[in-house]
Amino acid sequence: MSCSLVLSSVGINHQVSQTPDNQALQVAAEDLHAAQFQIQAYQDENRNWPPRPDTSAETFIPFLQPPTLLLVGILALFFSVTGPWSAGSFWFSQGVGNADKILQNHEFYRLVTSLTLHADTVHLLGNCLFGGFLFHFFCKLTGNGLGMFAMLATATCGNYINVVMHGSNHQFVGFSTAVFAIIGMLAMLNRHHRVHKHYVRVIPFMAGAALLAMIGSSGERTDLGAHFFGLCCGFVTGWFLGKPFMLRLRESMILQTFLFVLSCTIIVFCWKTALM
């Protein structure tokens, strides 16, 4: 029937007849060569089409389940220790993102410690809910170590760019930068590799998470710049993670373990430096 459609499209009269074994096309003798040429040209053009989908992202299975509950639990537990943002809080005075101290005193550890602090309970719940949801699927695609390190590095870069753009007299806290970084990385991974349909369905939720994260944490301390630059840095990192050699690196358990331990060590080191 595809061949019949081809002949109809070029105006060659024909009939489709049923034989005992299959269907056949009948054309006038003077149209035989033209019909054969058009059908052959159609088959040549459509050879190996549609292309086989890239299944590299689909076939990867993490060695361990994503540490989603661990991440969310640590953020919640840490909030129970630090409490909400207040002027007299020792934790916030030492770990809050402060543009003046980062740019002038080179206290770059604040780019990391600020990710673990939250202004209030609503801020914490919003980031844990949407961030945990996105982090879980992100690690399903990248592995726990690579996913954790990529999230931390990208969010730190997003915070730094935001500091540079804002200049002095700017303070910030929250995991939101990391949430938007994950959104950007997931979007780029999907764009380049057309990941499993199950994850494609998650994309509308990503968009919803972005809007809800911005609206749900609204207030005087909402930092839309951190959200925006986290997303932009996520696009860049996601493009890099989608490269074939990076996809192959996901299979290394040694690398995944090293990056996961390194990520945890960086966070602990930054807080140790902050509290000294």
Q: What is the pLDDT of residue 160?
A: 94
Q: Is the pLDDT of residue 195 over 60?
A: no
Which residue has tokens 């489709």?
16
Instruction: Return d(Cα 123, Cα 118) in angstroms, integer.
Output: 6
Amino acid at 276: M
Domains of the chain are: 2-45 (no CATH), 56-275 (1.20.1540.10)
Q: What is the pLDDT of residue 199?
A: 52
Q: Which residues contact 6 (CB under 8 A, 6 or more apart)?
A: 38, 39, 42
Mean pLDDT score across all residues of the chain:
83
pLDDT average, residue stretch 187-197:
63
Banded model confidence at residue 131, pLDDT cuts 50, 70, 90: confident
pLDDT average, residue stretch 30-43:
91
pLDDT average, residue stretch 50-63:
63
Dump pLDDT digits (tens) for 249-261: 888 899 999 999 9
Q: What is the pLDDT of residue 206?
A: 60
- Coil vs helix vs strand at 36: helix
Q: Between 193 and 117, name the one with better pLDDT.
A: 117
Q: Is the pLDDT of residue 97 over 80?
A: yes
Dump pLDDT digits (tens) for 217-262: 455 555 777 888 888 898 899 888 888 888 888 888 999 999 999 9
On whether the CB atoms of residues 172 and 96 are closer than 8 A, the answer is: yes
Instruction: Return d(Cα 180, Cα 158) in angstroms, integer.
Output: 9
Residue 4's H or E segment, with its range, is: helix 2-9
Tell which residue, 158, 87, 174, has the closest CA to residue 125.
Answer: 174
Q: Is the pLDDT of residue 63 over 60?
A: yes
Tell which residue, 222, 94, 241, has the closest CA to residue 162.
Answer: 222
Calculate what percentage of the chain has a pLDDT beyond 70.
84
Tell which residue, 137, 136, 144, 135, has the closest CA to residue 253.
Answer: 144
Q: What is the pLDDT of residue 267?
A: 94
Q: What is the pLDDT of residue 187?
A: 81
Name the DSSP letter for residue 243: S
Instruction: Please tell me the number of Cα atoms within 13 Å of 223 on its side-chain side.
Output: 33
Instruction: Return d(Cα 245, Cα 87) in angstroms, integer.
Output: 47
Q: Between 211 and 126, name the one with better pLDDT.
A: 126
On whether the CB atoms of residues 205 and 137 are closer than 8 A, the answer is: no
Tell which residue, 26, 27, 107, has the closest CA to residue 270.
Answer: 107
Q: What is the pLDDT of residue 133?
A: 87
Beta bridge partners of 16: 25
Dump pLDDT digits (tens) for 150-185: 999 999 999 999 999 888 888 888 888 898 899 888
Banded model confidence at residue 109, pLDDT cuts 50, 70, 90: very high
Q: Is the pLDDT of residue 194 over 70?
A: no
Instruction: Return d(Cα 57, Cα 214) in angstroms, integer.
Output: 30
Banded model confidence at residue 191, pLDDT cuts 50, 70, 90: low
Most trustworthy range by pLDDT among 18-27, 38-47, 164-173: 38-47
Q: What is the pLDDT of residue 271?
A: 94
This prediction's pTM? 0.71
Q: What is the pLDDT of residue 173?
A: 87
Q: What is the pLDDT of residue 151?
A: 95
